[in-house]
Amino acid sequence: MTDEQRKSVALAQVYFPKWGIAEGHEQIGRLFGDVGGTLKSIKHDYANFNWIFSGGDTIVTEGTSYGEHQDWPWRAGVPEWGAGRWCDVFEIRAR
């Protein structure tokens, strides 16, 4: 697979702070349902994602997001130590 193909497919374990690790479609769906239920809105700054390729099956991406939680709005950098900065690691395996 090319790096661009790896970017478009993520077979993942998903970890979210205060939720834990989700594996497989069912658990990942539950995680995003639980977390998504607390959000009024969320936007990712796709144009500024930083993609790091290992030359193998691993891809790392980091970026920022902003939105509104049920209790307050949030944005990366406001405050500097606050929410909105994230990093994901994907392992892509061709079948």
Kindly report the pTM of this predicted structure: 0.64
Range of the domain at 37: 3-91
pLDDT of 8: 65
pLDDT of 27: 92
- How many domains, the chain? 1
Spell out the residues 6+ positions from residue 84 whose beta carbon is closer than 8 angstroms to its own.
64, 65, 66, 74, 75, 76, 77, 78
pLDDT of 42: 87
pLDDT averaged per 10 residues, the chain (length 95)? 69 76 88 88 92 87 90 82 82 72
